[in-house]
Each structure stands twice: as C-alpha cells, then as structure tokens.
Chains A and B, each alone.
Chain A
C-alpha cells in the first residue's frame, strides 16, 4: 500500500493496454484497490506528460482516452521497423469514409449520390471490419436503408479526440450564385427582346 505510486501505475496501464484508456476507466480500475479521486488521475497524467518532455515518447489524448505513443521525431527509425505494417487505403475508401464522417448518419444511397458511383461492398466491409464505421439505425423510408456513422476507433486511428477536429470541409461556391448568374444571363436575353414591347405599352 505504501509503495503504491499512482503515476507509475497509470504509466504501466497505458503502456500495456491495447486500446486508449479514459480517465473514467483508469479511475475505475485503480479505485478498486486504492483511495483515489478522478482529479488524482488527471494530475498523474499531467505529471507523466511532463516526465516525457525530454523523452521520445508522449501521452496523447484521443477519442477513447489516453495512450502512450512514440514521438514523431523517431518516425524515421520506426518506419524501418514497421515498413510492412503500413496499410494503404484507396482513394475510393478514403472518399467513402470522408462522406460518412462529415455527413453522418448517411445511407449507401447518400454516398452514391455524392460520389456518382455505386458503393463498393468490399469498402464498406473493410470500414466495418476496422471498426471505423457502424450502423446506427435505419432510415424511415421505403426499404429501410441502414444509416452509417463513424466510431471512436476511427478518431483514435487518425489521432483525433472529436469529429470537430477533422479538417474543415471546403466551402462550396453557393449554387445560388450560379443561379443568379444564369438568371442575369437570361434576363439580358429577355431584355434584349422585350424593350420594344415595353415601349409599346
């Protein structure tokens, strides 16, 4: 009991865990045996972050909680070790994933409408298998199509805490402007023809 060190315990848990651990989860695990508060957990994590300042690892906060990862400064070496582990994803997959991320909840039909091609089942399977997307319900229209949204694992994978941290969706030039331009054009056409009539009236 006396040699219990919260910071070291949390460090070991984060290092060993397959998935990020939230403050709630860390608190739940540790408070079983030791009298601690959630504030203690947060303090310990902060202290851990300070410890790592001059090391090549860091505590990173993502959607599901905290994880310990290597600093990017040693990526050159890590890339050699993990050369084969780097998965590449097709543009089609990234586009499909982006549409789900920004427009969720979406149906396959929504995705098809934007991309102009039918949604590949194998892409949807890959996304589901990686647990980046999930079905969160069925739209109440004929056929009851499944609606997809992204998961916490998706955010974890891209090192994000919440959806708002995704890059901004580029602004669309309002089609309204387009309509206005077209209207002006047609107005010009109409005006060209109409002056005689107006003078008559």
Chain B
C-alpha cells in the first residue's frame, strides 16, 4: 500500500510519450481524437477499418464522400502516435496507410473522359468500410442478446451422483498374452487352411469296386483294399464303399458275429 502511494505522484508526472528524445506531456493539438478517448481507447481498435470508421464518425463526415486528404493525415498521425507509444502495430495498419496514400494520389489525377466508367478511387475503401460497419454494428447487438450465465441462468441440479460409472474390467498381462496366443493360433489355422486337389477320386474308386464285385456273388471286404496304397488310398476305398452302400448299389453282409464281412452287389445282373 505504501509503495503504491509513493509511486502515484511520480506516475502522473510521467511524460505521455517520447518523440525523438523529447518528452511530450501534451497530446498533439492537430489530432482530431479527444485526448481522453485516445488514452482510453488507445488499443481497442479492431484494425484499420475500425480506426478509420472511428475517425469518420467522430467528425460526422459523410462516409460516401470522405475527405481523403484529411482522413489520411489523421490516420497517419494516429499510427505514428501508436508507434511512438510502442504499441505493437499490425501490418494491416501500414497496409491501410499505403492504400490511403494511393487513393489520395489517384484523386489528384485528372479525370479522362475517354476512360469509361472509371471508378472513384475511394469506392473500394468505402464499400469495405460500410460492409465492416454492418457487422460491427450487428455484433454489438448480438452482444446485447440474453446470454447464458450473464442474463439467463439455467437450472442446474447436480446429477453427477446418479451417473453410473462404467467399470471396465481389469486386464492382467497374462490375459493379454493368452489372447495374443489365441490370435496367433487362429492366424496359423488360416495360413495353413488351403485345399489340395484330391489325387484320388471317390467316384472313380466306386466304379472300380463295382467292377470288381460285378461278376462275383460275394467279395471279402478286405479284398477290396489294395494294401500297397498308402493310408489315403485305403480311406478313399472305404469312403467309396460307404458311398455305394448309401446309394444302395452294394450290400454288406456278415454271416456271424466277428465273422468275415462280405460285400455283395445289389445291381441286377443282365
């Protein structure tokens, strides 16, 4: 507290700005901005268009007929001041200064009658100012709308206690390893699961068997197998026998328990 009181008188005597080493305690008189407004709104401009609109409206100038020379001068004064006060100046401000200077110089050029529909050099700037002003105005209106937590307060029953937490199951590292193993196993099955064309055809074997038993009444079951063949061949023969039985082309007979099994053709002999 004491420190604050001590500092205050010194601060009020501080120079307003330092220009070329000179201390300035008074604002330049040729500025059209009232000093208080300048101090308060110094950094509140939202860009060059905003600043220009301020300058125009402040002096009740007709926006459709801006005295471009005056405005340019005021604008440049202003941004010079901002520079002196070491306010960070966005590039857009300098761009606008250049644009104003260009308009100003074009206004000085004589109008040639043979150039058709030459636009007023200010037209584009005026269009932009008007367009920006629309949104600036409406944004102030939106700012006045009723707002949640400022003008409107919502019912807020704390329902957090009712929210059911979603409990996720604990996963042990082993579970993960086991599921990964299963994945690997599955992948392996997929990798080896391919079909090999059967070298031995059951149909063909069925024909062979039928031919073998055609002339005889009975053939011993084991005689139908060619033991020279590998296991796969034996299985094919067996499948062929079963298939023939199913199609009722042969009959399997066994005279007594544990006795020899015989195969008998059911196809009528011609």
Contacts and interface: CB of A to CB of B under 8 A. Distances in A.
Given A67-B154, A68-B154, A116-B92, A85 B149 contact: yes
B149 A95 contact: no
B152 A175 contact: no
Interface in B126-178: 126-128, 130-143, 145-155, 157, 159, 162
A82 B127 contact: no
B154 A118 contact: no
B138 to A, nearest CB: 5
A182 B152 contact: no
B157 A16 contact: yes
Q: Which of B44, B92, B130, B139 has the most CB of A within 10 A?
A: B139
Nearest to A94: B139
A98 B145 CA distance: 12
Contacts of B151: 72, 75, 159
Given A91-B44, A175-B127, A178-B64, A158 B138 contact: no
A144 interface: no
Nearest to B137: A170
Interface size range on B against A:
35 or more
B234 interface: no
Q: Which of B119, B120, B127, B135 has the most CB of A within 10 A?
A: B135
A117 B127 contact: no
Contacts, number: 141
Interface size range on A against B:
35 or more
B128 A116 contact: yes
Contact of B141 (A72, A167, A178, A186): A167
A156 B123 contact: no
A182 B127 CA distance: 14
A10 interface: no
B46 A101 contact: no
Interface in A67-123: 67-70, 72, 75, 78, 82, 85-87, 89, 91-92, 94-95, 97-99, 101-102, 113-118
A186 B130 contact: no
Interface string A149-172: 000000011111000001111101
Contacts of A94: 139-140, 142-143
Nearest to B48: A116
B138 A102 contact: yes
B139 A117 contact: no
Contact of A159 (B135, B140, B152): B152
The 6 A-B pairs of least Cβ separation, nearest first, read: A117-B47, A98-B139, A116-B49, A167-B141, A94-B139, A182-B120
11 contacts: A15-B155, A16-B159, A57-B155, A60-B152, A75-B151, A86-B149, A95-B46, A115-B132, A116-B128, A170-B134, A175-B127
Given A91-B44, A95-B135, 7 more contacts: A94-B142, A117-B92, A157-B147, A158-B146, A167-B138, A178-B120, A193-B113
